Structure 1
Amino acid sequence: MIERSHLAILREVHRRGSLTAAADALYLSQSALSHSMKKLEQQLGTPVWSKSGRNLHFTQAGNYLLRLAERVLPQFEHAEAQMQQFASGQRGTLRIGMECHPCYQWLLKVVNPYLKTWPDVDVDVKQKFQFGGLGALFGYEIDVLVTPDPLLRPGIRYIPVFDYEQVLVVNEQSPLAAAEYIAPEMLMDKTLITYPVEQSRLDIYTSFLTPAKCSPRKHKRIETTDIMLQMVAADRGVAALPKWLAKEYEEKLPIVSVRLGITGIHKNIHLGVRETDLNIDYLSAFITLADSLSEHSKTGAE
Structure 2
Amino acid sequence: MLERHHLAIIHAVDKHGTLTEAANALFLTQSALSHGIKKLEGYLGAPVWQKDGRRLRLTQAGQGLLNLANRVLPQFEHTEQLIEQIAQGQRGTLRIGMECHPCYQWLLKVVSPFLMEYPDVDVDVRQAFQFGGLGALLGYDIDMLITPDPLFQKGLEYLPVFEYEHVLVVPESHPTAKQGYVSPQDLSNEVLITYPVEASRLDIFSQFLTPAGAGVKKHRTIETTEIMLQMVSAGRGVSALPKWLVEQHQNTLPIMPVRLGEKGIFKDIHVGFRAGETRPDYLSAFIDMAKQTHHLV
1:159-199: CA deviations, max 9, x gaps? Answer: 10000000000000010111110100000000000000000
Instruction: Rate the CA distance shift 1:178–1:131 in 2: closer, same or farther, 3 A.
Output: farther
Contact 2:130 2:136 in 1 (8 A): no
Cα offset, 1:279, TM superposition = 3.3
CA–CA distance in structure 1, aligned partners of residues 91 and 233 of structure 2: 44
CA–CA distance in structure 1, aligned partners of residues 194 and 286 of structure 2: 29
- The SS at the match of 1:169 is strand
Cα offset, 1:280, TM superposition = 1.6
TM-score where L is the length of structure 1: 0.68
Contact 1:130 1:197 in 2 (8 A): no
- Which residue of structure 2 aligns with residue 197 of structure 1? 197
Write the mapping of 1:219-234 to structure 2, written as runs, cut at 5 A: 219-234=219-234
Cα offset, 1:282, TM superposition = 1.0
Contact 1:278 1:284 in 2 (8 A): no
TM-score where L is the length of structure 2: 0.69
- Which range is displaced more, 121-130 or 212-221? 121-130
CA–CA distance in structure 2, aligned partners of residues 251 and 139 of structure 1: 42
Identity of aligned residues (%): 62
- The SS at the match of 1:288 is helix
- Which residue of structure 1 aligns with residue 216 of structure 2? 216
1:118-148: CA deviations, max 9, x gaps? Answer: 0010000012259920100001110010000
1:188-237: CA deviations, max 9, x gaps? Answer: 00000000000000000010000110000000100000110010010000
Cα offset, 1:250, TM superposition = 1.0
Contact 1:161 1:290 in 2 (8 A): yes
- Which residue of structure 2 aligns with residue 166 of structure 1? 166
Q: Count how many residue pairs are aligned between Structure 1 and Structure 2.
A: 216
- Which residue of structure 2 aligns with residue 135 of structure 1? 135
- Which residue of structure 2 aligns with residue 93 of structure 1? 93
Higher Rg of the two aligned structures: 1
1:35-91: CA deviations, max 9, x gaps? Answer: xxxxxxxxxxxxxxxxxxxxxxxxxxxxxxxxxxxxxxxxxxxxxxx9664358611
Instruction: Rate the CA distance shift 1:221–1:284 in 2: closer, same or farther, 3 A.
Output: same
Partner AA of 1:100 in structure 2: C
- Which residue of structure 1 aligns with residue 293 of structure 2? 293
Q: For structure 2, which runs of at least 5 residues remain unmatched after alignment?
A: 1-81
CA–CA distance in structure 1, aligned partners of residues 207 and 84 of structure 2: 48
Instruction: Rate the CA distance shift 1:243–1:126 in 2: closer, same or farther, 3 A.
Output: same
- The SS at the match of 1:279 is coil
Partner AA of 2:215 in structure 1: S
- The SS at the match of 1:289 is helix
Instruction: Rate the CA distance shift 1:89–1:246 in 2: closer, same or farther, 3 A.
Output: farther
- The SS at the match of 1:141 is coil
Instruction: Rate the CA distance shift 1:130–1:252 in 2: closer, same or farther, 3 A.
Output: farther
- The SS at the match of 2:208 is helix
- Which residue of structure 2 aligns with residue 54 of structure 1? none
CA–CA distance in structure 1, aligned partners of residues 247 and 171 of structure 2: 13
- The SS at the match of 2:124 is strand
- Which residue of structure 2 aligns with residue 74 of structure 1? none
